[in-house]
Amino acid sequence: MRTNQQTTLKTSVTLTGIGVHSGNPAEITIHPAKANHGIAFLRTGTTTGNDRLIKAHFACVSATELCTVIGDVETGAVATIEHLMSALYGLGVDNALIEIDGPEMPILDGSARPFVEAIDSVGLALCGAARRWIKVLQPVRIEAGRAFAELRPIDRGFRLDVEIDFESPVIGRSRKAMDLTPAAYRREIAPARTFGMMKDVERYWKAGFALGASLDNTVAVGETAVVNPEGLRFADEFVRHKFLDAVGDLALAGLPIQGAYRSYCGGHRMNVGILEALFADRANYAIVEGQGTRREPARAEFGLSIAAFAAEL
C-alpha cells in the first residue's frame, strides 16, 4: 500500500463486545469512507433518538479520565475510542466511518489486536487522493508536575518515545521508542493490553469506571505480581500499552503527524493537551501534501461526506 495515497477499508466489518467501564454491550461497524472524509463516529441509540456524527478530532474530546471520550454525554458521546483509533492510525487508515450503537466502544481483549485483525480481514483500498500530513515545524511542550509531553520536528515519518514510571514494583519504570509503521505496530504494539491496579478497583467502581473489566480484557496488577494466569504478553507490556494509547490519542490530530512525540508519565489528558498546544500557534505546524507544503487552518481539513445526521463539531 503506497504511503502517499489515502486509504480506507475495502468493505465494512463488525465487532461486538462490552464496554470496559460501562459493562454494557456494544456493536460497532467500521465502514469505508471517501477521500478526505477522515475518521468519524456515527453514534446511534442515543437517549434523544437522534443519531450523532462526531468527528474523531481533539476539539471534540469531552473527557480524558481513564479513557478518551468524544462528543457530548447529554446528546450522544462515544467513550474509550483510543484503542480503535490507535489501530486505524497504526495501520495507516485515513478514512472510515465507525457506526456504534452505544456510549462506549467494546474493550474486546483490552488491546488493539482484535481491531487490527478485523481491519486486516477485509483489507485496505486506495481512495484516489494524495495523503496529507501535519508537519511539526518547531518544538512544542507541555508539563504537569513531573510529567511532560512534547512534539518536535523530524525529517520524515512519525516516531514515538513513551516512558512510564509507576510506584508499583510490578510495573516500575520503562520506556518504548520506535518509528511507527504498520508492520512494527502489528508486531510490537497492537497486542499490548490495558492494565489496572487491584488496589484501585473499589475506587473505580464507586466512580462508575471498570464495571466491565475482567481478567479477559485487563491486566490486573497485584501488590507483587500480575494476577492474570497467563501472565504478560511482553515483559514491558505496560509501557507498550501506553504507547498504544498515545498513538490513538494523537490520531485525533485528524491527519497523520510528521514529527517526533516524547512523553514521560503521560496519559490521555497530556496526549490531547499536546495537540491543543500544537494547534494553538500557526507557526507550530504546516499541512504537507506530496512534495509541496501549504498553510491553512487545520480544522478545514476534515470535511465529512455524510451530512444526513446532526454533527458534533
Q: Choosing from 31, 37, 57, 268, which is the catalytic residue?
A: 268
DSSP 186-214: IIIITTPPPEEEGGGHHHHHHTT--TT--
DSSP 90-123: HHT---EEEEESSSB---TTSSSHHHHHHHHHH-
Cell of 210: 471498570
51 assigned to a ligand binding site? no
Phi then psi dihedrals of residue 146, to 5 deg: -80, -15
In angstroms, the CA 28 to CA 9 distance is 14
Catalytic-residue membership of 21: no
In angstroms, the CA 82 to CA 249 distance is 6
DSSP 3-58: TTEEEEESS-EEEEEE-TTT--EEEEEEEE--TT--EEEEE-S-TTS--EEEE-SG
Counting Cα atoms < 13 Å in the Cβ hemisphere of 291 gives: 0
List residues bridging with 159 in a β-sheet.
179, 260
Angle at 199 between CA 197 and CA 202, to 5 degrees: 105
245 assigned to a ligand binding site? yes
Q: Where are the beta strands (DSSP E) in 131-193?
A: 132-136, 140-144, 147-152, 158-165, 173-179
57 assigned to a ligand binding site? no
C-alpha distances in Å from residue 142, one per residue of 6, 94, 245, 248: 31, 27, 18, 19
Binding-site residues for Zn(2+): 83, 241, 245
Binding-site residues: 83, 241, 245
Residues involved in catalysis: 268
